[in-house]
Structure 1
Amino acid sequence: MKRITPKRFLKSWGDRFWKLAIKPGKPFAFGKLSNSWFCGLPGNPVSATLTFYQLVQPLLAKLSGNTASGLPARQRVRTASRLKKTPGRLDFQRGVLQRNADGELEVTTTGHQGSHIFSSFSLGNCFIVLERDRGNVDVGEWVEVEPFNALFGGL
């Protein structure tokens, strides 16, 4: 008897996609079962939280008739720490957005960025959004950030 996996189950139904070129959050399922939309979140806590706020929340807003994207406006700031990144996927690293001694906004990493390290959300206050083709980022380079307060309803 074949083992029933979510992928095998969903394959027997209608339209769907299974993987995304984002980090964290690559294993994400989306499609339609009969007349209902479904979203399958990844298993790791950081991946599940990220994909919910970046993908599911905007989808729910749109399906509810909201014309806004549901995503916060991104800001360009300089990074105060070196960021590791391998090209090939859009990367959402957790960071701390703050003012430096000159009063300018800058961002630092929360440290290790593993999809199982949920403390990166409690330590951080923003996503550092690194483009798909970008590699490592040196101190002083420009990056885009999305503040958490807009995502989490001002918490």
Structure 2
Amino acid sequence: IKPGKPFASFGKLSNSWFCGLPGNPVSAALTFYQLVQPLLAKLGGNTASAVPPRQRVRTTSRLKKTPGRLDFQRGILQRSANGELEVTTTGHQGSHIFSSFSLGNCFIVLERERGNVEPGEWVEVEPFNALFGGL
């Protein structure tokens, strides 16, 4: 997944589970919400789906993407003038740019095989409030 490298690994040492997160802040946050949080829920006995809920919306921004990796870009999900949900990029998407995470309210999920996305195309988003337990 992008951003998310390097994901050290996860496993069990004696009776303790461990997860090694990447060093860049956006990569660490993304891998926590996509990989670690579902693992913790499952280990805690939660039988509900660990997959964060997604919505399909149109983007108002051009999104740059090279095919080959599942990409989670940061976006701002909002209602348009006609009341429909739409998403706009937060700007530069480098894993070291934490403002792209703090300004956003969702991940824009771009499939592995997808390339660049033009304004008006449909994308899937994961609102952050779903990742934070619905707060």
What is the aligned length? 134
Shift of 1:111: 0.1
* Structure 2 stretches lacking a partner, 5+ long: none
Moved more, 24-33 or 91-100: 24-33
RMSD across aligned positions (CA): 1.3
- Paired with 1:119 and 1:100, the residues of 2 have a C-alpha distance of 23
Q: Render the CA deviation track for 1:103-141: whole Å, top value 9, x for unaligned.
A: 111000000000011111221100000001110000111
Normalised to the residue count of structure 2, the TM-score between the two structures is 0.93
Normalised to the residue count of structure 1, the TM-score between the two structures is 0.81
Which secondary structure state, in structure 1, belongs to the residue aligned with residue 28 of structure 2? Answer: helix
Q: Render the CA deviation track for 1:5-54: whole Å, top value 9, x for unaligned.
A: xxxxxxxxxxxxxxxxx100021122333443321000000000110111
| Greater RCO, CA 8 A, separation 6+ | 2
Task: Identify which of 77, 96, 99 aligns with 1:119.
Answer: 99
Which secondary structure state, in structure 2, belongs to the residue aligned with residue 27 of structure 1? Answer: coil
- Paired with 2:96 and 2:35, the residues of 1 have a C-alpha distance of 19
2:96 is the alignment partner of 1:88 = no
Equivalent residues of 1:76, 1:144 under 8 A apart: yes
Alignment of 1:33-112 (within 5 A): 33-112=13-92
Moved more, 125-134 or 66-75: 66-75
Aligned-pair identity (%): 91
- Paired with 2:50 and 2:103, the residues of 1 have a C-alpha distance of 23
Equivalent residues of 1:62, 1:69 under 8 A apart: no
Shift of 1:154: 4.3
- Paired with 1:59 and 1:79, the residues of 2 have a C-alpha distance of 31
Which secondary structure state, in structure 2, belongs to the residue aligned with residue 86 of structure 1? Answer: coil
Shift of 1:153: 3.5
1:27 corresponds in structure 2 to 6
Equivalent residues of 1:61, 1:69 under 8 A apart: no
* Structure 1 stretches lacking a partner, 5+ long: 1-21
Shift of 1:71: 4.0
